[in-house]
Amino acid sequence: MKTVTVKNMVLGAGRTKIAVPLVAEDSDGLMRAAAQLRTLDFDLAEFRADFLKRADEADFVLAQLEKVREALPDTPLLFTFRRAAEGGSCPCGDDYYFALLLRAAESGLADIIDIELLAGDGPVGEAAAQVKAAGAAVLLCNHDFERTPPKDVIAGRLKKMEALGADICKIAVMPQSPQDVLTLLDAAYSVFQTASVPLVAVSMGRFGAVSRIAGGMFGSAMTFAAAEKAFFPPSGRFRYHCRFSNTHRKQGNNMARLTIHSVETAPEKAKPRVEAALKNNGFIPNLIGVLANAPEALAFYQEVGKLNAANSLTPGEVEVIQIIAARTNECGFCVAGHTKLATLKKLLSEQSIKASRALAAGEFDDAKLGALAAFTQAVMAKKGAVSDAELKAFFDAGYNQQQAVEVVMGVALATLCNYVNNVAQTEINPELQAFA
């Protein structure tokens, strides 16, 4: 089998190599993350450029890539830009996507360029040839965040990657049972027998941990560990630790205790709503999958959610309530989901998001939002029985009686989500993990 040599790393020979993600929203965060990586023991860094706030600006992305290379000069570097439709964070068209990948390759800053197989055989094959001509290695990949395809489908996709010019072939799938993990490993091992390039096979979620530890025995040349990042903790500092984990799914403290339904497994009454969530998000948030256990609860969440979004508060104010409620109720899933929404849709400033997550009403850069945060916290702490002074402070900030009731409505909606997630111990989707 042909190996891939990048700096001091030989992929496809010797022990299974460990890759860790490099994720941040801006330049400062990226440099902090890179500094933390320098303290860890790993083989390859994966720069997830799609998580940058300005991921849709190619010049900015390339400038950040240059900073990463300067910070990690001797580290093999994989450049990954995962589009929203492919489980990433940035929606963009083919023209931008392929042009950005080529520029990253031509810059000489990235050693390996990640290209998603489902972007189309013709464009993918052409992009692979251009990237290789520019001097970078090509990692063709495919992700299924909902299920594990049959063995022949997995094997077929890996073989197609090789045929399209991949230097490294990677597939990641979501198991619904231990048998699904065996299916992935069996498929990977069968392809490994005749493959001419290194393979990477990852089974995600709670069942898939064994594939990340023992994947090398079945032909996988690389595994993924999480240099785990927590955005905006109360201290305001970033935290990382390196552990065998799944870069595609951040695990909760325990595996989910209630079934996380897919479209196929959801009760008939819940199927249309689960399908709508998949269409609207590009993936099924695990909260939706859990709520599907009770179709009426799922309907309540979605319909009240629409009403809550249509109230007199601004979208940013709605998110302040949701983040504060989720933090108060210790629901990591909802903190991640609403942080992502507020961040990507630019509903709140970074400081306001930090203050919401820290339950720090006095640290908002907008006094009115700070008053809203204080009132929301008081409503939750006192079960609605706020003092005259607390209600007056809310009104003095510019809010009215209608909005006082709307705060309670937002808290009520959040309570359903937060409590269900806490009962289920819902795992955070890979699409949300960077905002956890």
> Which sequence positions are flagged as catalytic?
143, 170
DSSP 274-292: HHHHHHHHSS--HHHHHHT
Residue type (1 letter), 127: A
52: Cα separation from own chain's centroid = 12
Q: Tell me which residue of 18, 16, 20 sits closest to 228, measured CA to CA.
A: 20
User: Residue 23 and residue 361: Cα distance in Å, rounded?
Assistant: 28
Q: Residue 168 forms beta bridges with which residues?
A: 139
Written as six digits, the tokens of 91 are 């929606």
Q: Kindly state the DSSP code that residue 77 receives in the 8-state scheme.
A: E
- Contact in structure between 67 and 27 (CB atoms under 8 Å): yes
Taking CA atoms, 162 is separated from 1, 35, 166, in Å, by 12, 35, 5
Neighbours of 53 (CB within 10 A): 17
CA angle 379–236–229, rounded 5-degree value: 105
User: Residue 63 and residue 27: Cα distance in Å, rounded?
Assistant: 9
With b for 16 or more beta-carbon neighbours within 10 A and e for fewer, the 315-330 pattern comes to: ebbbbbbbbbbbbbbe
Written as six digits, the tokens of 38 are 């320098």
Q: Kindly state the DSSP code that residue 130 receives in the 8-state scheme.
A: H
Written as six digits, the tokens of 96 are 């931008």
Residue type (1 letter), 124: V
Written as six digits, the tokens of 126 are 């052409």
Q: Residue 250 forms beta bridges with which residues?
A: 428
Taking CA atoms, 336 is separated from 63, 233, 323, 434, in Å, by 27, 12, 9, 8
Q: Tell me which residue of 62, 51, 105 sits closest to 344, measured CA to CA.
A: 51
Q: Residue 137 forms beta bridges with which residues?
A: 112
Residues whose CB falls within 8 Å of the CB of residue 87, separated by 6 or more in sequence, listed in order: 143, 145, 248, 282, 283, 430, 431
